[in-house]
Each structure stands twice: as C-alpha cells, then as structure tokens.
Structure 1
Amino acid sequence: MKTKTDSTSSIRGDFRLIADIVQPGSRVLDIGCSDGTLLELLEKEKNVDGKGIEISPEGVNASVRRGLSVIQGDANTDLYDYPSDAFDYVILGQTLPAIHHPREILLELLRIGTHAIVSIPNAGYWRYRLHLLIQGRIPIQESDDTTWWSTANIHPCTIRDFVNLCKKDGHLILSGFQINSRGRAVKFLGTGSLANLFGAQAIFLLSRK
C-alpha cells in the first residue's frame, strides 16, 4: 500500500491549479517531478495512474519513499523513448527555461500525451523589468535562489514568448492562468499585455490540433 503524506494543506498554489485541470483516473507523466509532491496529490485526489521522471537522485529517492512510480531521467534526452499517446496529461512544471531545446520538448510532450500542462516563470513580470531598469542587473526569479551565472534557466521566456511559440507550432491553448506574486490566479486566453506584465508565472493547458 502506498504511503501518503499526512496533509496537503501546504500544497503550492500552482500545484492546486494543475490538480484542478487533471481529470480523475487519467494517465499522467510528471516531468521533473522533484520530491513527488504534485504526483502524490494527483494520485490521492484524482486517482490518476501516475508516473514521474526526475533528474536528481534526491528527488527520486524522496518520491519513492512516498510510494510513487518515479525513475531517474533527463527530460532533454529521455522523452524520445516514450511511445506516442502513452499519457492523457504530460506535466512540465517550471522546467521549460532549463530545457536545452524547449521547442522540441513541447513537440514531444504533445506526442506522448493527449494534453500537456506547462507552467513557466514569466521573465516579463513587472518586478523583474523594474529590477533590471533600476539596478542594471539580471533579475533572479522568485523561484530561483541562484545567480545569473549558475542558474539552470538558460532559456528564460515571457508569457507572450510562450504563446507566440504555441501559435507558431500549432499547439492549441485550451486554457491559461496567470499567477501573481501573492499566489492569486486569474484565468486568461494567452493574449494581451496585462498577463505578460502582472503574471509572475503562468500555467497552460495545451493540446494538438
């Protein structure tokens, strides 16, 4: 029997939004699942058939201790081994800027999954713009405690950048949410300047055409 954590009261707001999107009983792959918190939430509340892939041994070990089906792997190289349409949802949370080839990975997400749920830190957030303007230094996003020369985020993008890439490659944006610095989520359609300015991060539900 799988061991579950005692409480989900401290679940991150973006995890809660993702859980609301996923339909009960779905086949889910969580890429870069870290310690398995989101995957555990989905198994507990949505009864999903969940799998995870995580690059760090510490994250894999933490996930396995939760009783989750998680393997060590690298999203940059290992997604190509999965068969097409193997999952109902493939989740890529806050990892896209660290991917070597983001465009190709998005194509892979929608090859192996009917839907993709992608969350991104928004490099166009107004606080980051103001930081660069006033201090003249590259801002470090709130989810990142490193410096510009050691961060894993090699491809920072804005909400508008991401939406334009989806349009270019024909990915359908079924729904989107911007999340401000206080964790408040607002639904939007991926257009307009306000989401790009006031969303610290964004979550998108994508599908193939």
Structure 2
Amino acid sequence: MVSTAPEPIRFDLRVIGSLIEPGSTVLDLGCGTGDLLGWLAETKQVVGTGIEQDKEKAAHCISRGLSVLQGDLNEEVEDYPDQSFDYVILSQTLQQVMEPARLLHSLSRIGKRFVVSFPNFSHLGVRLQLLLKGCAPMSRELPYNWYDTPNIRVVTIKDFRRFAMKFGYRIVTEIAVKTDYQSKQGTVVNWFPTMRATYGIFVIEKRRKQPITGQSHE
C-alpha cells in the first residue's frame, strides 16, 4: 500500500516507484531533475538511465551522479536495442508528445514493461470549469493558459484504456491518484476514478500473440 505521508519526491512519483521491482533496469523519459531516478537508485537499487531535453535539468542530473542523456526523447529511444530495459517510464509527458502512438510503440520495443502517467482531463474540476465558465480549464494539475501550455493533447483515464485495447497493449496495473501538481501528498482513488482522480498511472506491456493451435490433418 502506498503511504500518503510526505516524502522527498512527488506523490505520483512515489506511486510509480512502488511499481518498479528492486534491481530492475529503468529508462526514465523526460526525467526532469532526476528525482525519480535518484529515489529508485537509493531505495530500490535500480540501474537507471534518463533522457531529458532541457539542458539545465540534464546537467543537474549529471551533477547528482545520475546517468542522463540530454536530447529529444522521441529520437533517442530509437537508438536502443530491443528489450533493453525492464521498465521504461513516461511520467506526465504523454500529453506533450507529438506522436504518442509511435512513441509508445517504441517503448514497447525497448522495454519489457512501461509506465505512463498523465493529467486526467475528465476530472470533475475540469468538467465544471468547461460547463460553468466555458473556458479552457486551468488547475494546479494544468497550470497554463491555452496559449502558453506545453500540453498539446488532452487525455482521460478512459481514453487511455481504449487506446491500450486498440493498439494491442495489456494493462498490467492501473492506479488513479488525487494529488496536486508537484505535491508530495496525495491519495489513491478507488471509487469513480475518471471523475475524482487528477492523474492516471498505467503499467502496460505489449500483448503477446497467442500460439495458433488446431487439429492435425495427418
């Protein structure tokens, strides 16, 4: 069970960290200043690598002794061989990706499993803003105006379930959480997550093809 007590890293990152097996190999895409990578290395002894586009954040990671590459994650993932990692993590980045289906296909190639998290656009607060104000919603999870937001897509928990089914992914674990942007406190949402959760977190893997069986015609 995930503790709700304050910790050195964001609540949603702690939830993601709880899903990673100790000693795993991990690639963290859009790793920021390396909070999750550092936490995983310290508490779960993972062998972690990160990719971060922002030069200052990547430099900060390196100064912490983390293995991080500065570059475009959409391009860098293509250089890794198949099944290079036990887990690939894409945390709060999916909504900023130009071609999410293509990127997730790459993640399923280089990782045995991958973890995806994103702001849930069907949260009740978002719905009420659209209904009552008629304006693009702003919240602590989506703290941008429509004209300066880095988010180019809106995703809901239900949308992602449908996406996984359509593109042949198996949902291993699904966790909905209620937490604020950058907050170290939060709760796991079990009831009506599509309306009450501010973020969705999924562990998925490529669905294995079933072997073709049939009667012998000898």
Write out the 4+ residue segments of structure 1 that deviate beyond 3 Å after TM superposition: none
Larger Rg: 2
| Secondary structure in structure 1 of the residue aligned to 2:186 | coil
Task: Name the structure 2 match of 1:5.
Answer: none
Judged with a 3 Å threshold, the aligned counterparts in structure 2 of structure 1 residues 90 and 63 are, in CA distance, closer, same or farther, namely: same
Residue in 2 aligned with 1:130? 128
Shift of 1:46: 0.6
Q: What is the one-letter code of the residue matched to 1:121?
A: P
- CA displacement 1:66-103 (0-9 Å, x = unmatched): 11000101122221121110000000000001000011
Task: Give the one of 202, 205, 209 matched to 1:204.
Answer: 202
Q: Confirm or deny: 8 A CA contact 2:119 2:142 kept in the other structure.
A: no
Aligned to 1:93: 91
CA–CA separation in structure 1 for the residues paired with 2:176 and 2:189: 5
Task: Output aligned runs, 1:1-209, within 5 Å.
Answer: 9-181=7-179, 183-186=186-189, 194-209=192-207
Q: Structure 1 length as normaliser, TM-score?
A: 0.90
One-letter code aligned to 1:102 = P
- Quick one: percent identity of the two aligned structures? 39
* In 2: Cα distance, 1:42 partner to 1:68 partner: 11
* TM-score of the aligned structures, taking structure 2 as reference length: 0.86
Tell me which of the two structures has the higher relative contact order, counting C-alpha pairs closer than 8 angstroms and 6 or more residues apart: 2
Distance 1:69 1:13 in 2: 23
Please provide the CA RMSD for this pair. Answer: 1.5
Contact 2:189 2:196 in 1 (8 A): no
Q: Structure 1: which 5+ runs fail to align?
A: 1-7, 189-193
Q: Distance in 2 between matches of 1:58 and 1:187?
A: 38
